Structure 1
Amino acid sequence: MSAALGDGMAVSTGIVTHSYFPGAAMSGQGIPFQFLDAEDILVSVIGDEDLLIAGTDFVITGDGRTKAGVIRTLRAFEDDEEILLLRSTAMKQEAVTDPFKPLPAEVMGRELDRRALIEQELGEQLGRALTLPLTDDVTGKIPVPLPDRTWGFVDVPEGGVAETKITFTAGPGQTVFYLGTESELPVKVKRNGAEQIDAAFGVAGPFLTLVNCNEGDIVEATFAERTILPGVSPSKVMGVASHIPSDPATMTLLDMVSLTAHIEQWRGIDLTGVEDCTAQFQKALDEATAAGRTLLIPAGKIRLTAPIDLPDGSVLCGMSGAYQAGSKTAITTLYFDHEGDGLISADPSGSQSVIGIGFLRNQPEPGPGWAPNDHGFDIMVTGDTDFFGDDLLFINSSRGISFSNGGGRHILTNIRGQPFIVGIDLEYSADVTRLSMIHFWDFWSNSVHVYNWMLANATAIWSKRNDNADMFSLFSIFYRHGFRIGNWAGGGAGTTKRLRVFGFGADACGSAVTVDDDANGCTAEFHGLYGHGNDSIVTDGSLIDVNGTNGDLRIYGKTDLSNAHHNAVRLVGTGQSVTINDLSVNGFNLANGGHAALWVDPAAYGLTLRGEKSIAGGLYGAARFAGGGKVRGIWIAYMPTISAGGGSLSTPSASNVQYLIEDNLCRIKGEATPGPGGSGDVRTTLPQPCSATGNRIGIIKTTTGAKSGTIQPLASSSLAVMNLYDGSYPGDAGTIYFDLEYEING
């Protein structure tokens, strides 16, 4: 790759390192490769891990772009001390572009030069990396990293017990064996044919160092027997490396590569899901926690027939909670073969973490009338404890995870599954609650019989008593309630306060957001909400269904509601307020029950619509508005009463009158036309869309100009009455125009 624009250089050399012996002369040495800045050159003494310091140990001058750079040492070095120069170009962008000005050629040239140098350096690093040959002749073998950064292979019988043996030539540095996560594994080592005794080894954690091993020695190592199933990852087993730092604890990924293999036995625990391993698993967890270690669980399925207690400070880490469709398990699966809670955190003030695990239960096969087995929660957190969950899969749980009795920091991220009764139950989570990347999908079954049950009963997320919860990127499908707000019944009343949800979608649902009857005073915000009713299975849900009392629900951003079997929005709770921004309704009354798009009860404070509004797709002649409550922010059509004051009207009247409620004002505008003919005066009465509390301001007039009527306040049920023509009715009364506003309650 080359660049030669403006003041740039042609990058042609691939050299990125150079070494020399400066000795005591402190003379200058030419740098044979190109570089942009002196700061991009790392200088060290070979064999010493510390870098030399510019300005103290050396100075670099000259133009590196033309290979005219020079290094000069500023102090004397021993004759056998070799200085190494390594180019490490800073990965940054210096050019700042202006969209309305041309980019100078010299600036573009320097940026291209930088990219070319970085690519050369990355290529040099890749050339030093370990590689694994991908050929058919390695089938059924375990790859073993060797000190020369190549791979050896060990034959392992399928499902059998095997020793792992490797032979290699030692490099110039120390030779260190890595014993993996189980540092007690024995290892037998021969050096040049002679078996090494214990005194020949130094132990540092999981590392075993072979002392007095010289470059060129032939080393043969045999690791302990274990049951191995080749070709499947992922439990760390063992490895070996040379060319390493003097302290094994400082080894990096380039110094040591560990192997992976699937094991059928781990700490005496069966990983096939056949044997009951409850006692062994509890013992392993208790021992690891007492030692301050993470319990690393390999791939496989562990059968547990009783709940597991999570001690204070425990950390369970499986290989992954990723779903495996063929076996309907996760890579690491805890199989709860009982009806109680699975993992129980009951410590009054502790902390626990559960990472990279799937949970499996016993459920009946799908069929007509299907219902799940009702069991405890897979994870039950009952104390004032800190809990962190990541990469968890509730495969076929009836109940996923519950926080049921107090405070603490409760954090869940990357949670997936198909819980059948409730996925996440925030019964009482009072301090810090954070949920992110929640995805409840039909992992276990896509049977219509399972869907039928879920659409009648299941709740994805149920928030009861919690304060200041923040949630991000939530999704559910085939749930009766996507997100549900209720009331905590234990120890004292309480509901959800100051909830914030950023991005929630409920697909093929009964209700996207539900506020329960017993929720008193909940406050919540949703930023971006999508709710889509099920296309084929009829449910009794409204997509936003607000009950309860004296709450405040606000929905910002785009609010997209479609395929509502009943109402798109149903607001019936006494004193409840709902505010929706940019509402789009497409499809409602699918159940053919006369359900309006927006149904607001008079007892509610009201529904406020802001921004863009679109309401369409009502089936079977359903109205857009109903219920008699206040709907603010949108013009709503209604009919004034036009009658003959002292005679008759020969034909019905036409009307195009609307009202709009904004804040505490009601505005009415439009026109009405009495029928022609008849006798007597025309009497027009405007019923009040909302009860008036203040003055009426506005006009009512006719096109004929014969006489303009006056607004006459009436009883609370009507806004005004107008008489025209003083008892005469000479044919067509003309059009009556309305434009007035008045103050309303609430």
Structure 2
Amino acid sequence: MAASLPAAEAPRERTSSAAMALNVQDFGAAGDGAKDDTEAFRSAMDAAVKAGNCAVFVPRGHYLIKGRLDIPPTVTLQGVFTAPSARSKDEGSVLLAVAGAGDAKGQPFITLRTSSSLRGLTIFYPGQEMKNPPVPYPWTIQGQGDNICLTDILLVNPYQAVDFGTYPAGRHFISGLYGQPLYRGLFIDQCYDVGRVENVHFWSFWGGWEGELYVFMRSEAVAFVLGRTDWQFLSKCFCIGYKIGYHFVQNQAGPGNCVLTQCGSDIGPTAVRVEGGQAHAGHSFVNCQFMAGVEIAPTNTGPVKFTACGFWGIPTTDHHAIIDGTGHTTFNGCHFNGWGQHDREAPAIHARSGGLTVSACDFMDLGKAQITLEPEVVSALIYGNRLRGKERITNRAGGRAQIALNAVSA
């Protein structure tokens, strides 16, 4: 019979994936929420580099980090979670972030270097407040290098969550990122080789749906900000209650091109805003759901395509799409419901300029205007759609528009 170990000699907690990892508690981390564990984490990661760039395991506990953490190249900082968690700020491997209060442009809480990883952790800001505005903090996680990985991470109440755009971060991989970013969620820019993002969920579980904080989020917060990224893939990403769900911007590095599948933006006035897209590639949405509106800005030059997507309104929705710019926007196999909430004469799609194709779509609201084409529209194809009550397509583009084979039903 094997002899039992005295309590003082009991082995440290491990997970199977962290069996060969260094343990932050072996470097003096207390995990009691009171002692500053910053130096213990730094020492453990320094040792990981010397040991051949291995993982550093963070057992269950509340680790107060008064400073910042820098994850060296090819090192993994790993907690106990092996799936995305929610409402777990009191469970699992929790980092308590306190540095940078009041300074949104300060040094990030965690910096990830080339080929480093962050896994299975919860990060909570105990000093954050449910007010309008909330306390500004720097980015929680910032990437500075290629091949960075985030998996199974819960960011409970970050002011700004993940920054993979201030510095180049190509071939990044994000999977299982949950949280309630209060001002900015995921920012991607300067990605010059394919980035991959999946299973992201941003929602108001910490601050709730009422009160001052939610007023701030509905008027200021953006879930996803996407700039220059060459072949960005997003799959099964979701946000709810944000001013803008997916914001495609054009910064110094230029516009990007993105493919989004099975993504959604719920209960927000602007689900998608496109200010820039690469002229040869643009952005494509497939099997997505949006509540409520799409805005294509005058600055956009690239194609924007919606395939098999659903659109439905909230109490402030007049249009499901307002289209400007010189790019071409396509809706194929989509359905539209609940527009014209204030202006009953507002069309579901209002094309002010650029090009437009609408085919095999279902405009579900009885008797409401479906599409308006303004004189600055350079070309339009409107065909094979189902309209309810009567056809209400206004064509001010003249012969540059082809409108045919649309069926009207009750």
Please say whether Structure 1 and Structure 2 have the same fold, judged by a TM-score greater than 0.5. yes
Matched ranges for 1:344-359 at <5 A: 344-345=111-112, 347=113, 350-359=114-123
1:690 aligns with 2:397: yes
Partner of 2:273: 514
Displacement of 1:224: 5.7
Partner of 2:194: 432
State which structure, 1 or 2, has the greater radius of gyration over its C-alpha atoms: 1
Q: Partners in 1 of 2:364 and 2:356 — Cα distance?
A: 15
Structure 2 residue corresponding to 1:597, chosen from 336, 340, 348:
348
Partner of 1:628: 374
Q: Is the 8 A contact 1:264 1:272 kept in 2?
A: no
Q: Is the 8 A contact 1:329 1:395 kept in 2?
A: no
Distance 1:442 1:434, change over 3 A: same
Q: Partners in 1 of 2:206 and 2:264 — Cα distance?
A: 20
Q: Partners in 2 of 1:482 and 1:227 — Cα distance?
A: 48
Where 1:588 maps in the other structure, the secondary structure is coil
Q: Partners in 2 of 1:596 and 1:503 — Cα distance?
A: 26
Displacement of 1:460: 1.1
Partner of 2:328: 577
C-alpha offsets along residues 494-551 of structure 1, whole Å, 9 cap, x if unaligned?
Answer: 1112x111111111112111112x6664601111121124xxxxxxxxx111112312
1:392 aligns with 2:153: yes
Q: Is the 8 A contact 1:363 1:372 kept in 2?
A: no
RMSD: 3.2
C-alpha offsets along residues 371-411 of structure 1, whole Å, 9 cap, x if unaligned?
Answer: 2222111111123x210111011110111111132253200
Runs of 5+ consecutive residues of structure 2 not aligned to the other structure = 101-106, 405-410
Q: Partners in 2 of 1:351 and 1:556 — Cα distance?
A: 35
C-alpha offsets along residues 76-96 of structure 1, whole Å, 9 cap, x if unaligned?
Answer: xxxxxxxxxxxxxxxxxxxxx
1:312 aligns with 2:312: no
Q: Partners in 2 of 1:494 and 1:268 — Cα distance?
A: 46
Structure 2 residue corresponding to 1:462, chosen from 220, 225, 241:
225
Runs of 5+ consecutive residues of structure 1 not aligned to the other structure = 1-167, 169-218, 229-233, 238-252, 534-542, 637-655, 662-688, 694-738, 741-746
Of structures 1 and 2, the one scoring higher in RCO (CA 8 A, sep 6+) is: 2
Name the count of aligned residue pairs: 378
Distance 1:623 1:611, change over 3 A: closer
Q: Partners in 2 of 1:657 and 1:390 — Cα distance?
A: 49
Partner of 1:475: 238
Structure 2 residue corresponding to 1:278, chosen from 38, 58, 66:
38
Displacement of 1:358: 1.2
Displacement of 1:366: 2.6
Distance 1:324 1:508, change over 3 A: closer
Partner of 2:407: none
1:361 aligns with 2:125: yes
Partner of 2:358: 609
The amino acid across from 1:311 in the alignment is P
Q: Is the 8 A contact 2:124 2:156 kept in 1?
A: yes
The amino acid across from 2:68 in the alignment is P
Displacement of 1:635: 8.8
Partner of 1:225: 8
Distance 1:286 1:608, change over 3 A: same
The amino acid across from 1:380 in the alignment is Q
Where 1:453 maps in the other structure, the secondary structure is helix
1:380 aligns with 2:142: yes
Distance 1:510 1:363, change over 3 A: farther
Displacement of 1:432: 2.0
Where 1:442 maps in the other structure, the secondary structure is coil
Q: Partners in 1 of 2:84 and 2:60 — Cα distance?
A: 11
C-alpha offsets along residues 657-706 of structure 1, whole Å, 9 cap, x if unaligned?
Answer: 98798xxxxxxxxxxxxxxxxxxxxxxxxxxx43448xxxxxxxxxxxxx
The amino acid across from 2:93 in the alignment is T
Q: Partners in 1 of 2:392 and 2:312 — Cα distance?
A: 25
Structure 2 residue corresponding to 1:565, chosen from 317, 337, 348:
317
TM-score by length of 1: 0.47
Q: Is the 8 A contact 2:291 2:312 kept in 1?
A: yes
Distance 1:303 1:659, change over 3 A: closer
Q: Is the 8 A contact 2:94 2:123 kept in 1?
A: yes
TM-score by length of 2: 0.82
Matched ranges for 1:171-210 at <5 A: none
The amino acid across from 1:291 in the alignment is A
